[in-house]
Chain A
Amino acid sequence: GAVVSQHPSWVICKSGTSVKIECRSLDFQATTMFWYRQFPKQSLMLMATSNEGSKATYEQGVEKDKFLINHASLTLSTLTVTSAHPEDSSFYICSATPGQPWQPQHFGDGTRLSIL
C-alpha cells in the first residue's frame, strides 16, 4: 500500500516550454504532498509543500511564479515548470504520506526534466 505515482518519468523539451508533472497517491488520500529537486550526486532539496485546497508553501529561494503547484484533490498534485530554461533541468521528485506530514514519506519515481 501507500503508492505514489509520478508522471511523466522523463521529458525533454525546448527552452521556453511549460512542463507539467503529476504526482498521484494511488491508494490513499494526502492533504499534503512535497516537491523536491535533486541535482546529480546531491541531496533532495525541498522546493515546496503542496496543500490540498490552498496555496502551496514555497521554500526560500524557490520562485513561485516559475514553479506553479496545484493540489486540486486529495490524490493529485501538479508541478508546472513555466517557461522552462536549461537551468531548470533536474530530477524532480514528489512525496506524500497517508498520515501526518511529518510521518514517513512515500516517494514517486521522479521526473527527469531536460530543457534544450
Chain B
Amino acid sequence: AQRVTQPEKLLSVFKGAPVELKCNYSYSGSPELFWYVQYSRQRLQLLLRHISRESIKGFTADLNKGETSFHLKKPFAQEEDSAMYYCALSTPNTNAGKSTFGDGTTLTVKP
C-alpha cells in the first residue's frame, strides 16, 4: 500500500528564513510525487512535481529514493507563502492512477 507522511502539522518561520516542509513516502515501485498548495480561500493547486525538476515560486523539492523523501524547500520564505501544503503520491499504471495525500502542513510566515 502507498502512504505519504508529513510529520509537521504546523510550521512557523519568519520572513526571509529558510523553510523546509518534510514529506516521506512508502511505495515499492516508482511513484510520481507532487506538492500541492492551498492558499486561504482558494482551491487546491499544483505547486510542483518531481519529474519536472522546476523551481516554482522559489520552492524546490528533490526526490530522494534512498530515504523515500520529497521535502519541499525554499531558501527565503515570504509572507505570501503562508498556506496549507500537501505532499501527494500517485502510481502510474497501477491503482487507476489515484493519488494518496499526506495530512498537510500549515505554513505560517511571520513578518
Q: Smallest CB-CB separation from A99: which chain B residue?
A: B97
If A42-B103, A43-B103 touch, whether A102 touches B97 (CB-CB below 8 Å) is yes
Whole-angstrom CA separation of A26 from B92 in the bound complex: 25
Q: Which residues of B contact A107 (CB under 8 A)?
A: 43-45
Does A104 make an interface contact (CB < 8 A)? yes
If A100-B92, A107-B45, A110-B43 touch, whether A44 touches B97 (CB-CB below 8 Å) is no
Number of B residues, CB within 8 Å of A: 22
Whole-angstrom CA separation of A109 from B96 in the bound complex: 23
Residue contact B103 to A105, C-beta cutoff 8 Å: no
A24-48 interface code vs B (CB 8 A; 1 in, 0 out): 0000000010100000001110100
Q: Which residues of A contact B45 (CB under 8 A)?
A: 106-107
Q: Smallest CB-CB separation from B94: which chain A residue?
A: A102
Q: Which of B32, B34, B86, B93 contacts A43 (CB 8 A)?
A: B86
Does B69 make an interface contact (CB < 8 A)? no
Q: Which residues of A contact B49 (CB under 8 A)?
A: 104
Q: Which residues of B contact A95 (CB under 8 A)?
A: 44
Number of A residues, CB within 8 Å of B: 22
Whole-angstrom CA separation of A116 from B78 in the bound complex: 41
If A44-B86, A103-B32, A109-B43 touch, whether A32 touches B103 (CB-CB below 8 Å) is no
Whole-angstrom CA separation of A34 from B99 in the bound complex: 9
Does B101 make an interface contact (CB < 8 A)? yes
- Per the 8 Å Cβ criterion, residues 1-36 of A in contact with B are 32, 34
If A43-B104, A44-B101 touch, whether A108 touches B43 (CB-CB below 8 Å) is yes
